[in-house]
Structure 1
Amino acid sequence: MAIEERPVGPWFWEGNELFDAHRELIATVRSDVIFFRSERLLVESEPGPIQFRARATTGDGRVFTLAQNGFTVGTLHADCAGRAYVLRRTSVWRKERNIYDAAGGVVARVRPLISGRVELHAGPTYDDLPPIDAVFLSWGCVLVDSPVRRPRV
């Protein structure tokens, strides 16, 4: 399966590795660097009690950001090299989020599980979500929403 195609099932983070539905490795995170294809994204994050922010920079200088603008992490705002997204929890009782693009379409849904696994499901407008954005945004959700603490490998 080519990574640009609509996934047949969810992608999922297990620990610091992102797999597709066939358990083929898509991306890994090591020492705060996301390795995706030939890309390297250096991630800086502030998971503090007051404010969550994550920023990733590629080798060629593209910047990806994810941050809360309010008092809670219920809604996060992202900019992936100029592409805007809003990541909104589906309920105040759950950590599951819908990812909306600038046009308001749901490109994906991120679902953290109690096991620590975090799933990324394609939304109705998934074809508008570049794979590198999907990797960064889903990793950001791992940082802010996963019930299992991420090891710094």
Structure 2
Amino acid sequence: MEIEERPAGPWFWEGNELLDANRNLVAAVRSDVIFFGSERLLVESEPGPIQFRARATTGDGRVFTLAQNGFTVGTLYADCVGRLYELRRTSIWRKERTIIDSSGGMVARVRPLISGRVELHAGPTYDDLPPIDAVFLSWGCVLVDSPVRRPRV
């Protein structure tokens, strides 16, 4: 799905809904399916204490993955239909992450708040981040980093 114009930023997850700066709905998660415009991404995740992994599959078979590659979730690695990203924590004391694309550009920053809200802020190369990748990657951060357990709907 191509969006003609990006919704106003920053975006933020409140519960299972991703909203733009004007509080317009960008995406929603219901029963482990991300609804984003006409896209549906079925999400499977393993939030276990030893290994975090998430995988989303679209109706036409495109695959998005996010996983740790070590003992901690300090750095996560993502593959969004061949587009590669690293999601690095900015500090060992915080759950805030930067999303770095394969060329080394910081496309976004994800910031979980104590309230459970998770914000997605544009980075210097944000225009290089496809909106569907932003939705999946930020939801992955909700799954692994949010201090408030997400509601099941």
**TM-score, normalised by the number of residues in structure 1:** 0.96
User: Which residue number corresponds to residue 70 of structure 1?
Assistant: 70
Deviation at 1:4, TM superposition (A): 5.4
Deviation at 1:7, TM superposition (A): 5.8
Deviation at 1:151, TM superposition (A): 1.6
C-alpha separation in 2, matches of 1:5 and 1:85: 23
SS at match of 1:27: strand
User: Which residue number corresponds to residue 52 of structure 2?
Assistant: 52
How big is each residue's C-alpha offset from its partner over 1:108-150, in whole Å with a ceiling of 9 and x where there is no partner? 0000000000000000000000000000000000000000001
User: Which residue number corresponds to residue 123 of structure 1?
Assistant: 123
Runs of 4+ in 1 over 6 A off after TM superposition: none
User: Which residue number corresponds to residue 12 of structure 1?
Assistant: 12
Contact 1:42/1:56 (CA < 8 Å) preserved in 2?
Answer: yes
How big is each residue's C-alpha offset from its partner over 1:55-105, in whole Å with a ceiling of 9 and x where there is no partner? 000000000000000100000000001100000000000000000000000
C-alpha separation in 2, matches of 1:5 and 1:20: 12
Whichever residue aligns with residue 64 of structure 2, its letter is F
Name the count of aligned residue pairs. Answer: 152
Contact 1:4/1:131 (CA < 8 Å) preserved in 2?
Answer: no
Whichever residue aligns with residue 106 of structure 2, its letter is V
Amino-acid identity (%): 89
Give the alignment of 1:126-145 within 5 angstroms.
Answer: 126-145=126-145
Contact 1:18/1:26 (CA < 8 Å) preserved in 2?
Answer: yes
Whichever residue aligns with residue 75 of structure 2, its letter is T
Instruction: Call closer, same or farther: CA 1:137–1:85 in 2, change over 3 Å.
Output: same
Deviation at 1:9, TM superposition (A): 3.3
**TM-score, normalised by the number of residues in structure 2:** 0.96
How big is each residue's C-alpha offset from its partner over 1:27-69, in whole Å with a ceiling of 9 and x where there is no partner? 0000000000000000000000100000000000000000000
User: Which residue number corresponds to residue 87 of structure 2?
Assistant: 87
